[in-house]
Amino acid sequence: MISVVLPVYNEAESLSLFVAQLRDVLVEIGEPYEIVLVNDGSKDHSFKVILDICESDPNSKFVNLSRNFGHQIAISAGVDFASGDAIVLMDSDGQDPPAEIKNLYKKLKEGYDVVYAKRISRGKEGFIKKWTAKIFYNTMDRITSIPIPMDVGDFRILTKKVVEALRKMPEKQRYLRGQIAWLGFKQTYIEYHREDRTTGDTKYTYRKMIRLALDGITSFSNWPLRLATISGFVCAFIGFLLILYTLYSRYVLQDYEPGWASLMITLVFIGGIQLIGIGIIGEYIGRINENVKNRPLYVVDETNIERAQN
């Protein structure tokens, strides 16, 4: 059976049309299927639309989260409730074309465990979105030790094996494309053209985007921590040279002034560096704290799915 996990946040306008298209593709593939619609605390009538969809199609199921938990957590919830042998993750806004599922599935059948869809074009997305995404993926590639594929979102197909491993990852900062890369198994990709959104605007506000970027970086790289250490060493070294010079000019050259300016500059500089260091450490401690609390990742309000194993 193929499960398709769809996170839904304020997509009421285009959702039923999208699910209809998706269903056509799944029927064409000819395997049994289920569609798991995760309502991520939508503020419009998306949930009503989801209920209508589920009523008209016994293969569609819903998970209604108690509030907006964010895209990555919504997908994680869907993955927990999906019971297929192959699980497709995709956006519900029409940007990931359902027709590509055929290609993903075909590739999976060749014996892969993860087939992700690589964007060779990104539709009419804004200049800033494309540009920030590019910078982010490049930086990630440079500072992480596991290769996380570039220009790849969450659109992909996974075997049950991978999904079971994924469910065992308890971290609260979800960065699924990183986590799945970390898991390993046999991975490959297909290429596709990302479509435009059918209606509405991106639900990824800048705040959510920055959050995702920070979660990705801190979950898969200790490089920022190392940066704090390195800059600390560099400062200490410059300070040491400065001390030597001061002593030299004081005792050898006998040339010295009460150095108000240099003192202030040094103080401010060191102070700045320390604050940066503390800030970076704070980022990590915040996340440690988050994990220590060990709260459930999400809370389900209601669902018509019997909970999958583990």
Q: Which does 203 bind (CB under 5 to 8 A by kind): Mg ion, ligand UDP, none?
A: ligand UDP
Least Å distance, CB 305 to ligand UDP, is 17
Applying CB under 5 A, does 95 fall inside the site for Mg ion? yes
**Per-residue three-class SS string for the chain:** CEEEEEEECCCHHHHHHHHHHHHHHHHHHCCCEEEEEEECCCCCCHHHHHHHHHHHCCCEEEEEECCCCCHHHHHHHHHHHCCCCEEEECCCCCCCCCCHHHHHHHHHHCCCCEEEEEEEECCCCCHHHHHHHHHHHHHHHHHCCCCCCCCEEEEEEEEHHHHHHHHCCCCCCCCHHHHHHHHCCCEEEEEEECCCCCCCCCCCCHHHHHHHHHHHHHHHCCHHHHHHHHHHHHHHHHHHHHHHHHHHHHHHCCCCCCCHHHHHHHHHHHHHHHHHHHHHHHHHHHHHHHHHHCCCCCCEEEECCCCCCC
Tokens of 161: 């094996």
* Residue with smaller CB distance to ligand UDP, 34 or 91: 91
The only residue of 182, 204, 223, 284 in contact with ligand UDP, by rule CB under 6 A: 204
Binding region for ligand UDP (CB under 6 A) out of 3-11, 180-188, 253-261, 290-298:
3-11
Binding region for Mg ion (CB under 5 A) out of 18-26, 93-101, 165-173, 243-251:
93-101
* Residue with smaller CB distance to ligand UDP, 21 or 68: 68
Q: Which does 71 bind (CB under 5 to 8 A by kind): Mg ion, ligand UDP, none?
A: ligand UDP
Residues 32-51 that bind ligand UDP (CB under 6 A): 40
Applying CB under 6 A, does 11 fall inside the site for ligand UDP? yes
Binding region for ligand UDP (CB under 6 A) out of 4-12, 112-120, 217-225, 259-267:
4-12
Least Å distance, CB 48 to ligand UDP, is 15
- Phi-psi map region of 143: left, alpha, beta (phi>0 left; psi -120 to 50 alpha): alpha
* Residue with smaller CB distance to ligand UDP, 71 or 107: 71
Least Å distance, CB 89 to ligand UDP, is 10
Residues 163-192 that bind Mg ion (CB under 5 A): none
Q: Which does 7 bind (CB under 5 to 8 A by kind): ligand UDP, Mg ion, none?
A: ligand UDP
- Angstrom distance (rounded) from CA 190 to CA 118: 6
The only residue of 95, 179, 187, 221 in contact with ligand UDP, by rule CB under 6 A: 95
> Would you tell me which residues interact with Mg ion (CB under 5 A)?
91, 93, 95
> Would you tell me which residues interact with ligand UDP (CB under 6 A)?
7-9, 11, 40, 68, 70-71, 74, 91-93, 95, 202-204
